[in-house]
Chains A and B, each alone.
Chain A
């Protein structure tokens, strides 16, 4: 695996004050941040799952609840919306759940204190925990992604599906990290993140057609990244998408949000307290 590739260089560092040479391993190794991402995910995700595999089942079931309801109510008519909505909601949930994890590790366990006072960067820490969250959701994501491919699209659309998944997961994880870094209490984090979840995955046209919105609200919906994530999934499944929307627009908006949220997480998230 690429992330496991060992290129740990030993750097010799000279103390400014003493001239004493200290061996500092890998602090400047180019692959170390990637290795750290994997190790943080390993520590907080893989090892947990290995000892508590049942938790993966619990995490996997929840994204299917609305899919089931919509499928039953519409007699299968809105299956495209149901699958797209469930996948988007799952990704938003896994991304934002990172914020809850971070708050937990920061306020309850003080684990973040260890990471802040170490060579691990905030972005590396965020990516490691985000990857860990994704591992918990892997079964649900695999089933939902399979349903997308099965519901009419060709194998060739898989790269589009993967890109869409990565874009929404990445931007939501960065947002979760940014929000949680400003929370002083675990309860605040849970409340804010639940609220943002509703704003991004329930209210916008994620589970329903954007066409039913009045013109003004439609433009507003196009400003929300999850609208585009859902439309891109509907497009991938071969469903009809609105005439005033294009795949290009979907990518542009999602990439803009990803870049924006990662920049926000990198520059404005609180790592060292002030």
Chain B
């Protein structure tokens, strides 16, 4: 069963010459966490908003849980829930007001709404602040109110558009835990994020979108294969010749005072010994999704810069 099936979907906003989404085709299986990764303006939110029946595609077809977003939006809206990007709770209302009343608006009985509100507020550590107006809460707590509203529902498919923006590391983990619980109940999630660690922690499958096109998608293991080497060694930039490093593998400048060498375990061992011998600081770690993302999107950006550039949406 598919949670989302997108077939050659394009979106050109009114007044724009460029496609925010360009013939995107994507199948998202139900019961999984699917993450869309991309830079600002890559088209992530446009895709999510179209799936969540908030925006009509210019062309192509999207089916959500088997229903067409253009003609059967009413059916879909009973089955989905969303955390919008940059949403804010109402200032004078408390976390309890938001979650409890939202559940009742969606048709829950008083008892069920109470039970579910208490459960999700506890899960996200908002329960103790349940009676405090949102205006007196931190930015992270405000963001968690919106997450709680969406995750307290019985929806089959949850759209989370950058849900952990502005959250501290502890709060992010609370949201991650709630997302895992949601998935464990057999429900589906379409997540967008800038955070690679978040995508690695939560995703069953990932797609990287850039300038309106899906440039790669698959499992985390599939994506890691984009970089053939499996280890990276970061070596302090000062005191070492980049030419020497390139004999160990492919070298990129991290922009943070070090050079990153993508290589294999045996070469990494030799490189580490060299760094110790020269008294250079270094770190060794596995290749991450972040590296894959930078490799794919960074290369595309460089090619674009070389060819004169174009607007994204």
> Given the interface contacts A15-B66, A272-B55, does A8 sit within 8 Å of B107 by beta carbon?
yes
A232 to chain B, nearest CB (A): 35
Q: Are B1 and A24 in contact (CB under 8 A)?
A: no
Q: Are A52 and B92 in contact (CB under 8 A)?
A: yes
Does B81 reach chain A (CB closer than 8 Å)? yes
- Report which of A6, A17, A23, A116 forms a contact with B154, defined as CB distance below 8 A: A23
Interface centre among B2, B110, B146 (most CB of A within 10 A): B146
Q: Which positions 88-113 of chain B face chain A at CB distance < 8 Å? A: 88-90, 92-93, 97-98, 101-102, 104-110, 112
> Given the interface contacts A43-B101, A116-B54, A272-B55, does A110 sit within 8 Å of B84 by beta carbon?
yes
Does B79 reach chain A (CB closer than 8 Å)? yes
Q: Which among A72-80, A117-125, A237-245 touches the partner chain?
A: A117-125
> How far is B154's CA from A32's CA once the two chains are assembled, in angstroms?
17
A49 to chain B, nearest CB (A): 9
> How far is B52's CA from A114's CA once the two chains are assembled, in angstroms?
10
Q: Are A118 and B106 in contact (CB under 8 A)?
A: yes
> How far is B80's CA from A236's CA once the two chains are assembled, in angstroms?
50
> How far is B74's CA from A26's CA once the two chains are assembled, in angstroms?
13
For residue A273, which residues in chain B have a CB less than 8 angstroms away from its CB?
49, 54-56
Q: Are A48 and B92 in contact (CB under 8 A)?
A: yes
Specify the chain B residue showing the minimal Cβ separation from A24.
B78
Q: Which among A34-42, A91-99, A154-162, A198-206 touches the partner chain?
A: A34-42
> How far is B75's CA from A118's CA once the two chains are assembled, in angstroms?
10
Specify the chain B residue showing the minimal Cβ separation from A49.
B92
Count of interface residues, chain A, beta-carbon cutoff 8 Å: 41
- Report which of B1, B56, B98, B149 forms a contact with A15, defined as CB distance below 8 A: B1
> Given the interface contacts A18-B1, A24-B78, does A44 sit within 8 Å of B90 by beta carbon?
yes
> Given the interface contacts A32-B107, A47-B93, A119-B106, does A114 sit within 8 Å of B154 by beta carbon?
no
For residue B81, which residues in chain A have a CB less than 8 angstroms away from its CB?
117-118
B188 to chain A, nearest CB (A): 11
> How far is B53's CA from A25's CA once the two chains are assembled, in angstroms?
20
Name B's interface SS: loop
> Given the interface contacts A16-B67, A17-B65, does A117 sit within 8 Å of B54 by beta carbon?
yes
Residues of A near any B CB (own CB < 8 A): 6, 8, 13, 15-18, 20, 22-27, 29, 32, 35-36, 39-40, 42-44, 47-48, 51-52, 108-111, 113-114, 116-120, 272-274
Residues of B near any A CB (own CB < 8 A): 1-2, 14, 30, 49, 52-56, 65-67, 73-74, 77-82, 84-90, 92-93, 97-98, 101-102, 104-110, 112, 133, 146, 149-150, 154, 156, 159
With A8-B108, A109-B90, A113-B84 known, 15 other A-B pairs at CB within 8 A are A6-B109, A6-B110, A13-B78, A13-B79, A16-B66, A17-B66, A22-B79, A25-B108, A40-B105, A43-B93, A48-B90, A114-B87, A114-B146, A116-B77, A118-B77
7 contacts between A and B (CB under 8 A): A24-B78, A25-B107, A39-B104, A110-B87, A113-B84, A114-B102, A116-B77
